[in-house]
């Protein structure tokens, strides 16, 4: 490997045992106040047989112990703040710091969900306006902010569709989903009691209107589409497709995972989409947090409003904000309270910071960056659909396979160059897929270094494939034995003493 290509050197990485393997009885990390009310014997308050002994296994650590422990752990993570994270479909853009400060303002973070509406006007105003902004961006008529994540938004959206059809006395029980879809799409449909019909995309990576026409019948409740699709391609025939679905009485659901390609440029609502979910943790810069929390608001067209989750934030004619529960046809609630409020605050802040022109610029730049990387790498990696892409491109390991190098090897090798690997083995329709999404927040120099690393890996795959098989070598741990993890599940620490080892 040519080391000048890499940012990383071997850093100072500490080993750190589990919380449970350190500390000593009697230590504590928090100073609690003394009890200032007259105390009673606990057994006079709670019957003895409902009381527990000590919490067996809980650690005993000082504040310093705890801080060092988690600081050391943090250093084993790759993150957006550390470097390029071109994870396709996940839109790992930079997470602005101001958003974090705003979300932690006491007037947002210390607000109780059941305090009176008159004392929550700022929170309700923020939610109301965010709903309006998202409606505008997606071309939808109304947005529910309740769903906690993209998949949760899908569930709410598909239930709204089901409730809509039922209200018309129709018992449609099938949903059509393209073979390139995210796994959450079929799983969410199943939770609504739908049978999933898979539709194959054509040789150009797109959906054929003829195939949609053929698959659509009176039993189909909805067509679930992702546009741009998971190959990073815009469904050119989207208008024809949504027209077919509507003509046969179905509705169109759009997975908004890839909205970062089209903000301010085109709107799913104008394409005939009836329901659309947004991933605030992708498109709207809220942090991924190591796997969550995100937020998955769901936008709908006018005729579906009666079925949306309750409560709905509304503004009355004297400018007061209210929670409206009076939606007799609502699907109900998908979450307690009103949504992942702290995430909504961050997304709101982002939208206001970017403004209308900034959002458009973000999408334009995301698409430019993706095409730039694609143009630079297509002579080195197999590009199954060789056309302009939107915000991400999908390569495969076909060229490298002949030397025994797979997508997994390429991904693991990238780590040693100081980059997070792209999304791999998705979408499923491309064998050995490598899905690269740079986002708009990366500079040309960063991308150039990534491109150079990818080229170097392609070169090594030709000349010294074995060297790639060992990657990564610079990380705290090397490739992990996932087979062992699955065959002998060890999902919690157990005190050896309790296990009777001693």
Partner 1 sequence: MDFPDGLLYTKEHEWVKVENGKAKIGITDYAQHELGDIVFVELPEVGSEVVAMEPFGVVESVKTVSDLFSPVSGEVVGVNSELEATPEIVNTSPYDKGWMVEVAMSDKNELKELFSADEYTKYVEEESQ
Partner 2 sequence: MRYIPDTEKEQKEMLDSIGVKSVEGLFSSIPDSLRLKNPLSNIPHAMSEPEILRHMKGMSKKNADLDSHISFLSAGAYNHFIPSVVHHIISRSEFYTAYTPYQPEISQGTLQAIYEFQTLICQLTGMEVVNASMYDGASALAEAVLMAHRINDRKEVFLSKGIHPEYRQVVHTYCRYLGITLKEIPFSEKGIIDLEWLSKNISENTSGVAIQNPNFFGCVEDMADIEKLTHANDSIFIACVSEPVSLGILKSPGDFGADIVVGEGQGLGNPVSYGGPYLGLFATREKYIRSMPGRLVGRTVDANGKTGYVLTLSTREQHIRREKATSNICSNQALCALSATVYMALMGKEGFKKLSVLNLQKANYAKEILAGLKGYKIKFNSPVFNEFVIETPVSPDEINKNLMKEGIMGGLNLEKFYPELKNCMLICITENHRKEDIDRLWKLLKQY
Length of the chain: 502
Nearer to partner 1, 18 or 480 (CB): 480
406 touches partner 2 (CB under 8 A): no
Q: What is the largest CA-CA distance in the chain?
A: 78
- From partner 1, partner 2, none, which one binds at residue 39 (CB under 5 to 8 Å depending on kind)? partner 2
Output the CA torsion 427→430→434→437 (10° steps). Answer: -50
Query: Is 160 buried (19+), middle (13-18) or exposed (0-12) by CB count in 10 A?
Result: buried
306 near partner 2, rule: CB under 8 A: no
Residue with smaller CB distance to partner 2, 138 or 216: 138
Nearest to 384 by CA among 232, 183, 168: 232
Q: How far is the CB of 477 from partner 1 (least distance, A)?
A: 17
Minimum distance from residue 392 beta carbon to partner 2 (Å): 13
Alpha-carbon distance of 150 to 155, in angstroms, equals: 9
Which of partner 1, partner 2, none does residue 40 bind (CB under 5 to 8 Å by kind)? Answer: partner 2
Kindly tell me which of 372 and 425 has the beta carbon lying closer to partner 1.
425
Question: Which positions from 190 through 219 interact with partner 2, judged by CB under 8 A?
Answer: 190-193, 196
Identified binder of partner 2 from the candidate list 25, 317, 463, 496, rule CB under 8 A:
25
Nearest to 214 by CA among 176, 265, 253: 176
- Whichever of 31 and 502 has its CB closer to partner 2, that residue is 31
Q: Does 404 bind partner 2 (CB under 8 A)?
A: no
Cα–Cα distance for residue pair 488/486, rounded to 1 Å? 6
54 binds partner 2 (CB under 8 A): yes
In whole angstroms, the minimum distance from the beta carbon of 469 to partner 1 comes to: 16
**Does position 289 bind partner 2 by CB under 8 A?**
yes
The reply on whether position 142 binds partner 2 by CB under 8 A is: no
Instruction: Kindly give the residue spans of alpha helices, DSSP state H, lying in 168-321.
Output: 184-191, 209-215, 238-247
Residues in contact with 473: Cβ distance below 8 Å, sequence separation at least 6, in sequence order: 416
With CB under 8 A as the contact rule, the residue among 2, 171, 320, 356 that binds partner 2 is: 356
Name residues whose C-beta falls within 8 Å of residue 342's C-beta, 6 or more positions apart in sequence.
Answer: 103, 108, 109, 293
Find the binder of partner 2 among 367, 435, 453, 454 (CB under 8 A): 367
Residue 411 binds to partner 2 (criterion: CB under 8 A): yes
Contacts with partner 1 by CB under 8 A lie at 425, 482-483, 485-487
The 3-class SS string of 351-390 reads HHHHHHHHHHHHHHHHHHHHHHHHHHHCCCCECCCCCCCC
Binding mask 159-178 for partner 2 (x = CB under 8 A): x--x----------------
| Interface with partner 2: number of residues (CB under 8 A) | 201
Exactly one of 208, 364, 384, 465 binds partner 2 (CB under 8 A); that residue is 364
Q: Which is nearer to partner 2, 270 or 462 (CB)?
A: 270
Contact of residue 98 among partner 2, partner 1, none (CB under 5-8 Å per partner type): partner 2
Tell me whether residue 247 or residue 444 sits nearer to partner 2 (CB atom): 444
Q: Which lies closer to partner 1 via its Cβ, residue 360 or residue 382?
A: 382
Please report whether residue 396 would count as binding partner 2 according to CB under 8 A: no
Report yes or no: 443 and 404 within 8 Å, Cβ to Cβ.
Answer: no
Are the beta carbons of 188 and 151 closer than 8 angstroms? yes
Instruction: Detail the DSSP E strand segments found in 242-363.
Output: 251-255, 275-277, 298-300, 312-315, 321-324
Near partner 2 in 81-100, by CB under 8 A: 81-82, 85, 87, 90, 92-96, 98, 100
Which of partner 2, partner 1, none is residue 136 near (CB under 5 to 8 Å by kind)? partner 2
Would you count residue 264 as binding partner 2 (CB under 8 A)? yes
Residue 160 tokens, joined? 């709204």
Give the span between the Cα atoms of 255 and 307, in whole angstroms: 19
Q: Contacts with partner 2 in 450-469 (CB under 8 A)? A: none
Peptide bond into 311 cis (omega under 30): yes
Residue 336 as a binder of partner 2 (CB under 8 A): the answer is: yes
> Are the CB atoms for 306 and 282 separated by under 8 Å?
no
Residue 264 interface partner, choices partner 2, partner 1, none, CB cut-off 5-8 Å depending on type = partner 2
Whole-angstrom distance, CA of residue 270 vs CA of residue 276 = 12
Provide the minimum distance between the beta carbon of 221 and partner 2 in the complex, in angstroms, as a whole number: 11
| DSSP run (H or E) holding 136 | helix 121-138
Residue 196 or 368: which CB sits closer to partner 1?
196
Looking at the Cβ atoms of 182 and 391, the one nearer to partner 1 is 182
Position 9 contacts partner 2 (CB under 8 A)? no
Region for 301 from its dihedrals, namely left if φ exceeds 0, alpha if ψ lies in -120 to 50, beta otherwise: beta
């Amino acid at each position: 490997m040519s080391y000048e290509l890499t940012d990383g050197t071997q850093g100072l990485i500490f080993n750190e045992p589990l919380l449970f393997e350190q500390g000593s009885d009697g230590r504590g990390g928090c100073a609690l106040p003394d009890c200032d009310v007259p105390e009673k014997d606990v057994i006079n308050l709670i019957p003895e047989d409902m009381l527990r002994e000590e919490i067996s296994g809980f650690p005993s650590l000082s504040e310093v112990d705890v801080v060092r422990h988690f600081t050391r752990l943090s250093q084993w993570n790759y993150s957006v703040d550390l470097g390029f994270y071109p994870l396709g479909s996940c839109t790992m853009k930079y997470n602005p710091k101001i958003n974090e400060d705003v979300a932690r303002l006491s007037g947002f973070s210390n607000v109780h969900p059941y305090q009176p509406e008159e004392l929550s006007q700022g929170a309700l105003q923020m939610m109301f306006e965010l709903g309006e902004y998202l409606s505008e961006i997606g071309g939808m008529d109304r947005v529910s902010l309740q769903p906690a994540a993209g998949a949760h938004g899908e569930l709410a959206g598909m239930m709204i569709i089901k409730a809509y059809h039922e209200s018309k006395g129709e018992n449609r029980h099938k949903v059509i989903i393209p073979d390139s879809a995210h796994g959450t799409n079929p799983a969410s449909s199943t939770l609504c009691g739908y049978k999933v019909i898979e539709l194959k995309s054509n040789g150009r990576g797109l959906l054929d209107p003829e195939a949609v026409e053929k698959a659509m019948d009176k039993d189909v409740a909805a067509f679930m589409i992702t546009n741009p699709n998971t190959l990073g391609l815009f469904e050119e025939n989207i208008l024809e497709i949504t027209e077919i679905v509507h003509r046969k009485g179905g509705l169109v659901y759009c997975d908004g995972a890839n909205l970062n390609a089209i903000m301010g440029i085109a709107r799913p609502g104008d394409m005939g989409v009836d329901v659309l979910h947004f991933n605030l943790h992708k498109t709207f810069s809220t942090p991924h947090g190591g796997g969550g929390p995100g937020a998955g608001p769901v936008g709908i067209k006018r005729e579906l409003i009666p079925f949306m989750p309750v409560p709905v934030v509304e503004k009355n004619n004297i400018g007061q904000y209210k929670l409206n529960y009076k939606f007799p046809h609502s699907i109900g609630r998908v979450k307690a309270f009103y949504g992942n409020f702290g995430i909504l605050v961050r997304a709101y802040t982002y939208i206001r910071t970017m403004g209308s022109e900034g959002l458009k610029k973000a999408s334009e730049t995301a698409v430019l960056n993706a095409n730039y990387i694609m143009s630079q790498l297509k002579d080195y990696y197999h590009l199954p659909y060789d056309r302009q892409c939107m915000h991400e491109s999908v390569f495969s390991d076909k060229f490298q396979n002949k030397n025994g190098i797979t997508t997994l090897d390429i991904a693991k090798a990238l780590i040693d160059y100081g980059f997070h690997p792209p999304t791999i083995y998705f979408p499923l329709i491309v064998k050995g897929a490598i899905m690269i999404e740079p986002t708009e927040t990366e500079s040309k120099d960063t991308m150039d270094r990534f491109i150079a690393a990818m080229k170097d890996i392609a070169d090594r795959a030709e000349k010294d494939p074995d060297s790639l098989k060992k990657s990564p070598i610079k990380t705290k741990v090397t490739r992990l034995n996932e087979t062992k993890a699955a065959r002998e599940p060890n999902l919690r620490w157990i005190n050896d003493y309790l296990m009777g080892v001693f």
